[in-house]
Amino acid sequence: MNETKPKPLFAHIINPVTANENKELFETQKTTFASMLKAKQAFSQPDSIELYTVGRFPSYADCVPEGMKELPALTRDVSDFVSNKKLKFPFLNDILQAAYDNTGAEYLIYTNLDISLMPYFYQTVSYYLNDGADALVINRRRLHNKFETEKRVEILQAEVGKLHPGYDCFVFKRSLFTKFIRKNICLVAPPACNDLFHNIFTFADNPKLLVDKHLTFHVGLELYKEWGSPEHWKYNYTEYVTFLSELYPHMDIEKFPGSDLNIFDRHFKWLMNPTLDYRIMFKLDARRGFKTSPPKEVDTFVADRKQRYLEWLLQKVNFKH
């Protein structure tokens, strides 16, 4: 009797580089690969996870480890659209399309190639999906630059690190991809990945933003790095403005992070967060009459004066090294 092979749960894809493309990222991605393979093995059902890479050249066999499947090379990049032909940044949606076309997994996962995973990453993601979420966006932790030469993944995973405001890890139900509005926004140059963030919080039924979890990490404390060129920035922002105008009719402010905060707090956060376009957030909030939605999560612990003092004192007396 023939048994039907169960459908994979996760298809996780990243976009690798060769040493000739970017020596720094080439070295960094070795940690990424190792962490993904370890996290897969730590999952309760490792066979339900597929790990993919897709690049801009015919083969990355020299840098992709065993246990990850290399997909056919991408057929285009941003150099087809701008005069700068040297920087061949791929389009995020082409990478996602490659994952969609080559797997039947229930959920697709995309992370930047410099984002490594904690061993319990897939187990924790599975928990939130089983709890009702159909898409997740996960903040990374920033590790000190002194770890740039550290090759042992376990040492890096032991570091708590610091919060980062950007979004570079996305999990979403396969069926959502066909609903997304897709433009030719390339990676590396701003505002890369902002479109995926907005698509998720527009089309997912129950999207969840995880900002305080130790699930992914990146070596480097910098909050900002200039990648690409002014030409790529201009190109991307032109595509992004078109994307937002097409997405706007579908957007519901109730599903976006911060919609349950008081009016001052939510508008301040929307204004200061580099991922969100404040003009869009303001218009969406005005559309609902600037009402405050019920809290999505209720904090059952309320710190009294003594507790707040001890928390402050702990920060002052605690050793950092």
The CATH number of the domain holding residue 166 is 3.90.550.10
Question: Residues 208, 132: one domain?
Answer: yes
Q: Are strands 69-70 and 49-53 parallel, antiparallel or unpaired?
A: parallel
In a domain, 33, yes or no: yes
Whether residue 130 has pLDDT greater than 50? yes
Scan for tokens 């701003």, then name that residue.
190
Residues 78 and 210 in one domain: yes
Asked whether residue 93 is assigned to any structural domain, the reply reads: yes
The verdict on 168 and 89 lying in the same domain is yes
Residue with more model confidence, 223 or 74 = 74
Question: Are 82 and 131 contained in the same domain?
Answer: yes
Give me the residues paired with residue 140 across strands: none
72-106 residue pLDDT tens = 999 999 999 999 888 889 999 999 999 999 999 99
Same domain, 201 and 277: no
Inform me whether the pLDDT recorded for 111 exceeds 50.
yes
Report which of 169, 178, 193 is spatially closest to residue 100, judged by C-alpha positions: 178
Structural domain containing residue 186: 10-221
Under a CB-based contact definition with an 8 Å cutoff, are residues 174 and 97 in contact? no
311 pLDDT more than 90: no
Q: Can you name the residues that pair with 219 across neighbouring β-strands?
A: 143
Residue 120 lies in a domain: yes
In which band, very low, low, confident or very high, does the pLDDT at 193 lie, cut at 50, 70 and 90? very high
Q: Do strands 141-143 and 49-53 pair parallel, antiparallel, or not at all (unpaired)?
A: unpaired
Task: Pick the closest to residue 7 from 106, 109, 133 (CA basis).
Answer: 106
235-269 pLDDT, tens digit per residue, is: 999 999 999 999 999 999 999 999 999 999 999 99
- Residue 251's nearest CA partner among 189, 197, 199, 318 is 199
From the number of C-beta atoms within 10 Å of its C-beta (0-12, 13-18, 19+), residue 97 rates as: middle
Residues 21 and 61 grouped into a single domain: yes
The shares of helix, strand and coil residues in the chain, as percent rounded to the nearest 5, are: 40, 15, 45
Domain assignment present for 242: no
User: Of residues 44 and 87, which shows the higher confidence score?
Assistant: 44
Q: How many domains does the chain contain in total?
A: 2
Structure-token pair, residue 130? 């089983």
Tell me, what's the pLDDT at 61? 66
Distance of CA 52 to the CA centre of its chain: 16
User: Alpha-carbon torsion 221, 27, 36, 120, what sign?
Assistant: negative
**What's the chain's length in residues?**
321
Under DSSP, the state recorded for 8 is P
Q: How far apart are CA 290 and CA 292, in angstroms?
A: 7
Quote the pTM value: 0.93
C-beta separation of 70 from 61 below 8 A: yes
Residues near 38 by beta carbon (within 8 Å), at least 6 away in sequence: 117, 119, 153
Same domain, residue pair 259 and 177: no
What's the mean pLDDT in 208-225? 90
d(CA 200, CA 195): 9
User: Which structure tokens are listed for 103?
Assistant: 């797997």
Residue 82 lies in a domain: yes
Residue 150 confidence (pLDDT) above 50:
yes
Closest CA to 150 of 158, 138, 140, 160: 158
Whether 102 and 175 map to the same domain: the answer is yes
Q: Are residues 32 and 138 in the same domain?
A: yes
Q: Are residues 211 and 257 in the same domain?
A: no
User: Does residue 237 lie in a domain region?
Assistant: no
pLDDT of residue 289: 96
Q: Is the pLDDT of residue 1 over 50?
A: no
Residue with tokens 């730590």: 42
Domain boundary (169, 204, 221) is at 221
With respect to residue 240, please indicate whether it lies within any of the assigned structural domains: no
Q: 258 and 207 in one domain?
A: no
Residue 243, in any domain of the structure: no
Same domain, 208 and 296: no
